[in-house]
Chain A
Amino acid sequence: MCKTNESLAELTGSIHNARDDWTRSCLAVIRNLVVSPFEWFGELGLFCARLFRAAITRPYQVAELLHQCDEIGSKSLPLVALAGAATGIVLSLQTRASLIQFGAKSLLPSVIVFSIIKESGPVITALVVSGRVGAGIGAELGSMKVTEQIDAMEASAVDPFRYLAATRVLACILMLPLLTVASNFSGIFMGWIATTLAEPISLRLFLLDGCKDALFSDFIPPTLKTAVFGLIIGIVACFQGMRTKGGTAGVGRSATSSVVLASLFVILADVILVRLILTIWG
């Protein structure tokens, strides 16, 4: 009888423990789903405030900014040009058949030029840069964080927000529009190559046809919107990198999350910016 009571008490205890574990797990899941995103945005807000202050106050880190412009700008150029070229070729190949079907073959240069300068060029450039630069910054700063290099910088009385983050974010803002111009150029040029291989047309005629209805308002706002993409890529990558925890695994997570979040926010920002540009410039 006594043994049965003990077993019963043990069983009841196990049920209580299992129920507690289940409650704790549920609370953890709810916390991750509901509270964590708010925490993330809150921390991002604080990060941006500190970053903004570091970017606008002296001393300016001009040498490091130029170094980052080189790292982010010139070293991304081949990849961005290649992505732009591929876009131009694909646009030419894909739209040619459709335009022939509708008897609008003569519009092909305009379709290629407008598609590239208004949307494909800026977005593809931003996505390529968020992949290359976002991962690079996330991993570099993440590795500096876990090896205490960022702490060492703070201990040397050098503000890592000023030296590491502000310079990278500014370089992204400055370089994205320039890379977009390069990507547009490469895309239009390779679009012409693909078109002329199917049906010969001179580059001059292709450009005259393609740009005859183009205005500065078709080119400037979409190119300048990439500065906002640069801001997003720089901030997200620096933020993810500088909050890295958990050794080399944490560095990997930061690099991945930098790319994923930066790409996601670039696409979302594009929707808003396109709407805004259409509202302002029509």
Chain B
Amino acid sequence: MEQTGDPIVIEKIHKSFADQKVLNGITLRVSAGETVAVLGRSGTGKSVLLKVMIRLLPIDSGSVSIAGEEINALDEDELYQIRKKVGFLFQQAALYDSLTVRENVAFPLARHAKKMNVAERYRQVRELLASVEMDRDLDKLPSQISGGMQKRVGLARALVLNPEVLLFDEPTAGLDPITANEISNLILELKKKRKMTAVVVTHDVRATRLFADRLVFLHEGKVIAEGTFSDLQKSRDQFVRRFLTENNS
């Protein structure tokens, strides 16, 4: 693989489930500090693309390099070291339902920052939850808060280890327009403050205008177009133009 120094380098990856080909030779590079939005119809392999980036799913062929490491060549311990550098916000937040909001965010810290005492850990957790406006519900269980609040807590958990790379799976899906806008603004704020590299899988075209430096379109497991929002508005591909217009009204 060509060494570029980009934190995310994906080359010609293929992934199938039984007879169904989901990713069909995708190549994608994301530079440091860049936010890339991955768009496409449901079932085109966008979430799978995110999961193969940290080897939550194995690929059939190709290569994925995160923070300069080819992740498919790593053993389990080395893989966990790389995963510490990546924050992942899941589509349904995936909060641990037996833990409170505070414990959910403290969970990775408790396991990876063992020298930090409990008081310091909870101070950091509170600060982080305050930054996503969730510091008033510290002792609530995930089932006692709304979907939008769960996404905020999920975001705080993704950020707690100060990752170099952030992966967002449909951060605004299933939320009302106001909450969706608040989440988009949070991502924008993160981008400005932390200058993090991020890949955002989304259907929310309006949100991508707000925070994405580049848009990548997936269709039938392949990248069919990529560029800035204004570039793609002028795309010759009718599907891309239609997707941008119909989802941006």
Is A4 in the interface zone, CB < 8 Å from B? Answer: no
Q: Which of A59, A143, A144, A159 contacts B76 (CB 8 A)?
A: A159
Q: Determine whether the beta carbon of A158 is less than 8 Å from that of B111.
A: yes
Q: Determine whether the beta carbon of A149 is less than 8 Å from that of B56.
A: no
Is A157 in the interface zone, CB < 8 Å from B? Answer: yes
With a cutoff of 8 Å between Cβ atoms, the chain B residues found around residue A101 in the complex are none
Is A94 in the interface zone, CB < 8 Å from B? Answer: no
CB neighbors of B among A129-145 (8 A): 143-144
Interface of A is mostly: helix
Is A154 in the interface zone, CB < 8 Å from B? Answer: yes
Known: A156-B157, A157-B80. A149 touches B112 (CB 8 A): no
Name which residue of chain A comes closest to B91, CB basis.
A148
Most buried by A among B54, B94, B107, B157: B94
Contact code string A157-172 (vs B, CB < 8 Å = 1, else 0): 1110001000000000
A residues contacting the other copy or chain, number (CB 8 A): 16
CB neighbors of A among B76-96 (8 A): 76, 80-81, 83-84, 86, 88, 90-92, 94-96
With a cutoff of 8 Å between Cβ atoms, the chain A residues found around residue B161 in the complex are 156-157
CB neighbors of A among B34-59 (8 A): 51, 54, 56
- A148 vs B84: C-alpha distance in the bound complex, in angstroms? 18
- A153 vs B107: C-alpha distance in the bound complex, in angstroms? 9
> What are 22 A-B interface contacts by the 8 Å CB criterion?
A59-B114, A144-B97, A148-B92, A149-B95, A151-B51, A151-B90, A151-B94, A152-B96, A153-B96, A154-B56, A154-B83, A155-B54, A155-B90, A156-B107, A156-B157, A156-B161, A157-B80, A157-B83, A157-B84, A157-B111, A157-B112, A158-B107
- Interface pairs A-B: 8 shortest CB-CB: A152-B94, A155-B88, A157-B83, A148-B94, A156-B108, A157-B80, A157-B84, A148-B90
If A147-B92, A155-B90 are given as contacts, then 4 extra A-B residue pairs at C-beta distance below 8 Å, sorted by A number, are: A144-B97, A157-B161, A158-B108, A159-B80
